[in-house]
Amino acid sequence: MFVHELIQQGTPSSIAFHGKDYVTYAEFSQQVEKYRNYFYMSGIRTGENVGLFSRNSVDFVYSYMAIVSLGAVVVPINFQLTARETAFIIKDAKMKQLVTMERLDLDDELAQLGYAQEVKQLVLPDVRQDVEHQRLFAAPAISDEFDENRPCVIIYTSGTTGSPKGAVLSHKNLVSNAKAFGEVLPVTAGDNVLCVLPMYHCFAWTCAILNALLCGASITVLEAFAPKETIAAIKEHGVTVIYGVPPMYNLLTRVGQRDDLAGVKLLISGGASLPEKVAIQFADKYGIKILEGYGLSEASPVVALNPVEKPKYCSIGKALPGLEVTVVDEQGQSLPPGVVGEIVVRGPTVMLGYFNLPDETAKAMKDGWLHTGDLAYQDAEGYFFVVDRLKDLIIANGENIYPREIEELLYAYPGIIEASVIGVPDQLRGQVARAYIVLAEGQHFDKKAVREYLQSNIAAYKIPRDFIVVSALPKNQTGKILKRVLREQAG
């Protein structure tokens, strides 16, 4: 099955999208066909990489589906990137056309990068008007030679360790992930799924859009997350399934009321580790547990999810059906339960590779196994527990320090609402831990008391040398704390 064929799974008269206007599945298909014809007339052809620069909207979905139905490859771009960052992706993906919510001034940045190719911008408000008023000729059907293993999308990673890399995902990758995810999550045609996380991100796209379409469910689209507005939309539209990130659930715990989520049956968290304190406080307030999952763009993205019938705190759950997931040592040998190693993944959801980066692809994929760079262990029941990112590991005097262990303790301390621990250079020990914390309003930080609390819970070498109180921690658009920024600030 192709990604664009997912739009045909819903009953024609059923609502596909909730929002300012209701869109049925029949109207959805009609709009995608119009956009498809328009894009073909604009010159988009099979195999081309086409940028998509937009906030969450039904137009984003129409455009994405129309582009890939032509056999072209969509490249979603984070709309919060600077002109320089956007120009880098345009050049790297060798784009000729960019579908955008507003015209972007990129000429200088593209010129500085030496990209001479003219980039045609198709501005969505104009596209929306033109598809309704222009006479559009039907675009030809996709070639019979085009199969599900062909590229569908290029997802550019955040670039935490250098320039962004484009993970190339096929139609099969994405559809396989949506199907496998659906096998363990009971979403049905009667559900209304909230899409408030950014659609350009693989988590929101595969889970809140593709899986929902596969099930014939309805989707409530919000442009961005704001607690009060999100709660209002959940209640107004009868949302039953929510995909979120830890900071979002943290905020909902602090500002919402128990009946605000009375109609919600499933809550899934991803994008970053869910602190146990946040999970427990949320469950206490709303009477429903958050199901934590795990994934990465290179795996389309979901790798593991907690089962509905038996979730475990601090666990990312079990591997999705059809995926091989294991924990290995530095030599690539599988490790027994309880032993920490790197998570590796193999299966139909693993990317084709990084766009035009064969060496980077070879480093990430060995013998068909995708090396995630995440450290974890597995328990006797098959649940995985992420300890930390391999690159976030702190080594002090030869001892391994996992920042998440310290962060969980800090989250549990009264008055601390967010925490992040990084390693900083130390002449004697190589590295030491440094903690950045955010306090609840009106709280005073007692360094001595926090130290004593940590001393009673962890070994002395793990206790941060420094505690820095900040008003907020740097995050990306999916709510993941950017330790890279903290390390840069630390010098």
Average pLDDT of the chain to the nearest whole number: 94
pLDDT given at position 89: 95
Q: How far is CA 293 from the centre of its chain?
A: 11
Assess whether pLDDT exceeds 70 at residue 397.
Answer: yes
180, 87: one domain: no
225, 302: one domain: yes
283, 355: one domain: yes
Assess whether pLDDT exceeds 90 at residue 228.
Answer: yes
194, 292: one domain: yes
Contacts of 170 (CB under 8 A, 6+ apart): 148, 149, 150, 151, 152, 352
At 414-446, the pLDDT tens digits run 999 999 999 999 888 889 999 999 999 999 999
216, 271: one domain: yes
242, 326: one domain: yes
Residue the block writes with tokens 């350009």: 200
pLDDT band at residue 161 under the 50/70/90 scheme = very low
240, 117: one domain: no
| Weakest-pLDDT range from 200-209, 355-364, 366-375, 420-429 | 420-429
CATH number, domain containing residue 33: 3.40.50.980
CATH number, domain containing residue 473: 3.30.300.30
pLDDT band at residue 158 under the 50/70/90 scheme = low
pLDDT given at position 61: 98
> For the chain, how many structural domains are there in total?
3
* Rounded distance between C-alpha atoms, residue 240 and residue 193, angstroms: 6
pLDDT band at residue 160 under the 50/70/90 scheme = very low
At 118-138, the pLDDT tens digits run 999 999 999 999 999 888 899
229, 309: one domain: yes
Residue 151 lies in a domain: no
* Rounded distance between C-alpha atoms, residue 374 and residue 389, angstroms: 4
| Weakest-pLDDT range from 127-131, 376-380, 400-404 | 400-404
78, 181: one domain: no
CB 412 within 8 A of CB 276: yes
346, 444: one domain: no
245, 181: one domain: yes
- Kindly list the distances between the CA atom of residue 130 and the CA atoms of 92, 123, 125, 338, 469, in Å, as whole numbers in the listed order: 30, 10, 9, 59, 52
